[in-house]
Amino acid sequence: MPVIRIELSDLQATQRFGGLLAGQLRAGDVIALSGALGAGKSVLARAIIQAVDAAQDDVPSPTFTLVQQYALADGTPLWHLDLYRIETPQEAMALGLDDAFIDAVCLIRLQKLLPKTSLSIHLYAGDGGDDSVDDGKDDSGVRFADVTAPPHWADRINDLVTSIANKSTS
């Protein structure tokens, strides 16, 4: 699968990206977020969740609860998950992921247990490359999102990239 690199010039660009991505979501979508601490995973997840449900002022990290649930405008469940403490596929399935992968949108940090059909978004700081650890204290720096899209995402990703390009030129 080809990788599409999207430049996120600042915090607002990351939020715009999340808002545009939210508009493309449908049941069965699995989105894998990865990146170093402070790379923007929480900012992107919050932007997606707040775009689908503006009433969500506080979007807590699912680090300790493992799962936070929301809903798209059409009622489709949106699961925000952090699978850091999950070791086996059986533990993940005990959370109900097998059904969620079909009936919900799953926004997941830590992608070691995800299906190959997931949309993968790897976030990182512009000055450090993939392996840098960003302490998250400077929200003004350029970030990049490397997006790996499976074939069933092709049209939606093309629309998303076009929208981002149009926003950055206007």
Q: What is the pLDDT of residues 16-32, one digit of tens each?
A: 999 999 999 999 999 99
CATH number for position 80: 3.40.50.300
Residue 169 binned pLDDT confidence (cut-offs 50, 70, 90): low
Q: Per-residue pLDDT averaged across 83-108, rounded?
A: 86
Q: What is the pLDDT of residue 104?
A: 95
Q: What is the pTM of this model?
A: 0.85
Contacts 24+ apart (CB under 8 A), 35-38: 35/122, 35/123, 35/124, 36/124, 36/125, 36/131, 36/132, 36/133, 36/134, 37/133, 37/134, 37/135, 37/136, 38/125, 38/133, 38/134, 38/135, 38/136, 38/137
Low-confidence winner among 16-30, 43-57, 84-98 (lowest mean pLDDT) = 84-98
Q: What is the pLDDT of residue 140?
A: 58
Q: Per-residue pLDDT averaged across 73-83, rounded?
A: 92
Compute the C-alpha angle 24/71/68, nearest 5°: 110
CB–CB of 78/69 below 8 Å? yes
40/125 Cα distance (integer angstroms): 9
What Cα–Cα distance (Å) separates residue 79 from each residue in 4, 43, 60?
A: 25, 16, 12
The percent of residues in the chain predicted with pLDDT above 90, rounded, is: 39
Domain count, the chain: 1
Q: What is the pLDDT of residue 60?
A: 74
Range of the domain at 20: 3-169
Residue 132 binned pLDDT confidence (cut-offs 50, 70, 90): very low
Q: Where are the alpha helices (DSSP H) in the chain?
A: 11-22, 41-52, 89-94, 97-103, 154-169
